[in-house]
């Protein structure tokens, strides 16, 4: 003999739970899908059970699966491949310019604006490009500590070198006037001291940051549903924005000085190129900050990598490409006679 089923509906499948439908009969109920992050693995379950924080339900909501980890991976992320390729190509390009400068070391075009500072600037730009690789791959404590401090330090050397070149041009212009007190400051030592002092200030900020509240690896379980974001916690937000703000201050001062002397009658006056490079630098980082704050996970890292590549490339192209053009394609202009003729002020 078969007994009738004492219920108004079929049993609830795994992944669902029973819920009263408001009718008087206890045997009548609705089957409600488990809420987000919950499972039920038996039929006619009264309740759904939450998955652990590092797990997430499968599509049927019958079992908990480990959440996938997300970061800029070389193996599975096309962004990492694009950024690493760009960083390598720009590094090779920078090395090529450096070799070209060394080969033309004693020519007027290289001598015109302090050879030593130019080489320091090229090396710091090269190191800035290579810093990109600290942002790629799975972040760990050591890369978290190095990525922000190294890029900010190398950038400070680059921007300090640009500022040094700008101040050198400004002082040289002031020193042309008779009995000018600026004549005492003309020389390569001042330029080298400027780079050393302003870079040392950034290095001090980075050391204080690492000693007091260093960055560290962090697992973000909340920002994205069903994913664990492996990222770097900056430790001290104040320190992070201090190093960025200091770079912005150096770039702003360099831009203002370069803008003031951009029209000097000098065939190899770098001020107009510095003006464009610092304008580009400031524009990139001003656009980067709101984009950085509005994104999370690997896309936040991608925004910073783009800012590093774009601003470094901007300085490289604006300052050094005109010189490379003359050295390679117009070698007849790279002689003392041409320099002396072109440096004469119009009457």
Average pLDDT over every residue of 90-98:
95
pLDDT at 183: 64
pLDDT at 265: 56
- How is residue 281 written in tokens? 């630098």
In a domain, 8, yes or no: no
How many other C-beta atoms can be found within 10 angstroms of the C-beta atom of residue 180?
A: 14
Residues 208, 341: Cα–Cα separation, whole Å? 51
* Residue 115 and residue 95 in one domain: yes
* Residue 162 and residue 61 in one domain: no
Residue reference for tokens 């190294």: 150
In this prediction, what percent of the chain has a pLDDT beyond 90?
26
In a domain, 2, yes or no: no
- 2 three-state secondary structure: coil
In a domain, 135, yes or no: yes
Rounded to two decimals, the pTM is: 0.83
Element (H, E) at 299: helix 298-329
Distances (CA, A) of 291 to 37, 77, 150, 228, 345: 30, 20, 22, 21, 46
In a domain, 9, yes or no: no
* Residue 49 and residue 182 in one domain: no
Distances (CA, A) of 109 to 30, 93, 114, 153: 83, 19, 10, 28
- Given a cut of 90, whether residue 83 has pLDDT beyond it is yes
Average pLDDT over all residues of the chain: 82
pLDDT at 342: 47
* Residue 23 and residue 155 in one domain: no
How many other C-beta atoms can be found within 10 angstroms of the C-beta atom of residue 226?
A: 13
| pLDDT one-digit tens code per residue, 217-230 | 999 888 787 888 89
Confidence of residue 181 (pLDDT cuts 50, 70, 90): low
- Given a cut of 90, whether residue 125 has pLDDT beyond it is yes
Whether the CB-CB separation of 30 and 21 falls below 8 Å is answered with: yes
Distances (CA, A) of 319 to 92, 227, 229: 17, 44, 39
In this prediction, what percent of the chain has a pLDDT beyond 70?
83
Q: Indicate the burial class of 262 (C-beta count within 10 angstroms; 0-12, 13-18, 19 or more).
A: middle
Domain boundary among the residues 32, 66, 100 is at 66
* Residue 56 and residue 99 in one domain: no
pLDDT at 28: 74
Whether the CB-CB separation of 275 and 324 falls below 8 Å is answered with: no
In a domain, 71, yes or no: no
* Residue 151 and residue 20 in one domain: no
* Residue 59 and residue 108 in one domain: no
Residues 27, 6: Cα–Cα separation, whole Å? 7
Identify the domain containing residue 61 by its residue range: 16-66
- How is residue 106 written in tokens? 């004693």
In a domain, 5, yes or no: no
Residues 347, 333: Cα–Cα separation, whole Å? 22
In a domain, 106, yes or no: yes
Average pLDDT over every residue of 6-22:
74
* Residue 233 and residue 148 in one domain: yes
pLDDT at 164: 85
In a domain, 284, yes or no: yes
How many separate domains does the chain show?
Answer: 2
Which CATH number is 261's domain given?
A: 1.20.1070.10
* Residue 122 and residue 269 in one domain: yes
Average pLDDT over every residue of 67-85:
88
pLDDT at 166: 79
Q: How many whole angstroms from its chain centre is CA 186?
A: 35
pLDDT at 346: 40
């Amino acid at each position: 003999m078969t007994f009738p089923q004492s219920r108004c509906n079929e049993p609830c499948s795994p992944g669902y739970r029973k819920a009263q439908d408001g009718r008087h009969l206890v045997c009548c109920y609705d089957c409600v899908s488990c809420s987000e992050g919950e499972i039920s693995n038996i039929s006619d379950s009264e309740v759904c059970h939450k998955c652990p924080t590092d797990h997430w339900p499968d599509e049927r909501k019958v079992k908990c699966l480990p959440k996938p980890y997300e970061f800029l991976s070389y193996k599975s992320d096309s962004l990492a491949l694009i950024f690493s390729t760009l960083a390598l190509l720009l590094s090779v390009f920078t090395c090529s310019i450096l070799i070209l400068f060394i080969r033309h070391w004693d020519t007027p075009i290289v001598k015109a604006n302090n050879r030593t500072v130019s080489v320091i600037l090229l090396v710091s730009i090269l190191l800035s490009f290579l810093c990109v690789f600290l942002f790629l791959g799975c972040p760990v404590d050591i890369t978290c500590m190095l990525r922000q401090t190294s890029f900010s330090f190398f950038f400070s050397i680059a921007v300090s070198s640009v500022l040094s070149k700008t101040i050198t041009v400004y002082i040289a212009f002031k020193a042309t006037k008779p009995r000018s007190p600026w004549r005492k400051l003309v020389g390569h030592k001042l330029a080298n001291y400027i780079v050393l002092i302003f870079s040392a200030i950034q290095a001090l900020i980075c050391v204080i940051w690492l000693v007091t509240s260093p960055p560290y690896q962090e697992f973000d379980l909340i920002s994205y549903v069903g994913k664990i974001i492996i990222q770097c916690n900056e430790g001290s937000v104040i320190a992070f924005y201090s190093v960025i703000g200091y770079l912005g201050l150096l770039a702003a001062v360099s831009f203002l000085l370069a803008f003031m002397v951009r029209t000097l009658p000098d065939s190899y006056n770098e001020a107009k190129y510095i003006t464009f490079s610092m304008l580009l630098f400031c524009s990139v980082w001003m656009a980067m900050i709101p984009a950085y704050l509005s994104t999370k996970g690997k896309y936040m890292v991608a925004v910073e990598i783009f800012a590093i590549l774009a601003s470094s490339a901007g300085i490289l192209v604006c300052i050094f490409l005109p010189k490379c053009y003359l050295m390679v394609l117009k070698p007849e202009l790279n002689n003392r006679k041409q320099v002396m003729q072109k440096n004469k002020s119009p009457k």
